[in-house]
Amino acid sequence: MATMTEPPAETFRLSQLIYDTRYRSLTIQVVAFILIMAGLFWLASNTVQNLQSLGKDFNFGFLGQRAGYDINQRLVEYTNDSTHARAALVGILNTLLVAFVGCIIATIVGVIAGVLRLSNNWIVARLMAVYVEGFRNIPTLLWILIVFAIMTEATPQPRDFRGDDPEASMILFDTVAITNRGIYTPAPVWGDGALMLVLVFIASLVGIWAFRRYARKRQEQTGDILPVFWTSLGLFFIPSILFYFILGRPVTLEYPELTGFNFSGGTHMRNSFIALTLALALYTGAFIAENVRSGILAVSKGQTEAAFALGLRPNRTMNLVILPQALRVIIPPLISQYLNLTKNSSLAIAVGYMDVRSTLGGITINQTGRELEGMLLLGLFYLITSLIISSLMNVYNSSIKLKER
């Protein structure tokens, strides 16, 4: 008979902290914790000591002081009498503007280039390969400088538009002027009843959404397919255009005109903004093109063949079979491309665009001498922006990812 042997009495020895796997992980963590804390304490105490010897304190009061510098591009009201906090806000909005516009253009360019690179048209595929490799292998900064140089050196001056036989002329039916000081486009002027028009437009968007829902539900229940595309298109345009005339054309366009030495009226997009946005969009577009290409290639050919065998037409195959699977591969790297574009917008410094790094992290720091606080706020801003973008896109990603059962 097996005799039950008592387990040896547990006596804790110090060496168990190292050699016993039960305790070892604890030991390692405690040691790591102490080391990290010591390191942080060392950095903090150095900082305190250095600040003391410089006679500086640590406070954010400088944000309330008068900024005293001008910002040429602003989305909200700002004068040089405003506070540093207001200047930072203007910079933040400028950064977000570049990031937002850039992401949209980059997505369009990237998707087109990625699909065309897979085209069986030899020349188009090669051309797209040149675009992708060219933009991927040359630094962003250089591209921003090149686009800026094109915008400022290779475009006509405003005075070239003058005279009976001008050297340069406005494009798109004399509405858009491309000059070396930026691009002037028509600006909408909101008259009486414009609010009504906007409401009608929003209502038609809601209508499209509701119709699509209804169409899907109906298709699932009865199998009937409603003409979703044409109805949506009609809903998008017809009510708004109808109401535009019923309300007596409440929205008019103000065209840029050459007055004095420069254009006035319309919307003025500065070269710095265009160069930064365009260069970032083209640069990021090249990376997105590769993501799109790999996403499409990741869907096996058998999927297309199976869909055809079931009798699905090519565009339905694309929408129902290929795209949903390709998107799963494309979305995660797309998120990091959007993040990259947002972070790269800090290269605005190269073309003098006033983003948050130039206002809060540049002029404000130089004027107040608050490097520590300013850089801290700047870092926090980018941290929060990145976290928001990635969490938004992750929500979307999880809504389309493979539902495993």
State the residues that interact with another protein by CB under 8 A: 18-19, 25, 28-29, 32-33, 36, 43, 46-47, 49-51, 53, 116, 119-124, 127, 133-134, 136-142, 145-146, 149, 153, 339, 343-344, 346-347, 349-350, 357, 361, 365, 371-372, 375, 378-379, 382-383, 385-387
Is-contact 128 285, C-beta < 8 A? no
Q: Name the minimum Å distance from CB 146 to another protein.
A: 5
Q: Whose CA is closest to 169, among 256, 240, 70?
A: 256
Q: Which is nearer to another protein, 97 or 349 (CB)?
A: 349
Q: Report yes or no: 292 and 117 within 8 Å, Cβ to Cβ.
A: no
State whether residue 355 is helix, strand or coil.
coil
- In the complex with another protein, the residue whose CB is nearer, 299 or 348, is 348
- Least distance to another protein from the beta carbon of 265, Å? 32
Provide, rounded to whole angstroms, the least separation between the CB of residue 118 and another protein: 13
Distance CA(285)–CA(109), nearest Å, equals: 5
**Residue (127 or 226) nearer to another protein, CB:** 127
- Can you state the angle between helices 84-117 and 271-298, rounded to 10 degrees? 40
Amino acid, single-letter form, for residue 45: S
Q: Output 102 or 266, the one with its CB closest to another protein.
A: 102
Residue 290 CB, shortest distance to another protein, in Å, is: 10
Going by DSSP bridges, is the β-strand pair 187-190/251-254 parallel, antiparallel, or unpaired? Answer: antiparallel
- Tell me the C-alpha distance between 276 and 363, whole Å: 20
Q: How far is the CB of 245 from another protein (least distance, A)?
A: 36
**In this structure, are residues 250 and 193 in contact, taking their beta carbons and an 8 Å threshold?**
yes
User: Measured from the CB atom, is 142 or 206 closer to another protein?
Assistant: 142
CB nearer another protein, residue 254 or residue 371: 371
Cβ atoms of residues 144 and 102 within 8 Å: no
Helix then strand then coil, in percent of the chain rounded to 5, is: 70, 5, 25
Q: What minimum distance in Å lies between the beta carbon of 325 and another protein?
A: 19
The CB density around residue 111, as the number of other CB atoms within 10 Å, is 17
Four-CA torsion 35, 36, 39, 40, nearest 10 degrees: -150
Cβ proximity to another protein: between 47 and 80 the closer is: 47
The CB-of-335 to another protein minimum distance in angstroms stands at: 12
Question: CA 280, CA 321: separation in Å to the nearest integer?
Answer: 32
Nearer to another protein, 112 or 228 (CB): 112
On whether the CB atoms of residues 294 and 332 are closer than 8 A, the answer is no
Q: Are 111 and 315 in contact (CB under 8 A)?
A: no
Residue found under tokens 């997009």: 269
Token pair in block for residue 341: 């574009």
**Residue 26 CB, nearest distance to another protein (Å)?**
9
In the complex, the smallest distance separating the C-beta of residue 150 from another protein, rounded to whole angstroms, is 9
Per the document, the length of the chain is 405
Q: Considering the complex, what minimum distance in angstroms separates the CB of residue 28 from another protein?
A: 6
The DSSP element (H or E) to which 63 belongs, if any, is none
Burial class from Cβ neighbours inside 10 Å (0-12, 13-18, 19+) for residue 167 reads: exposed
Q: Which is nearer to another protein, 120 or 221 (CB)?
A: 120
Structure tokens at 398: 């999880």
Nearer to another protein, 182 or 362 (CB): 362
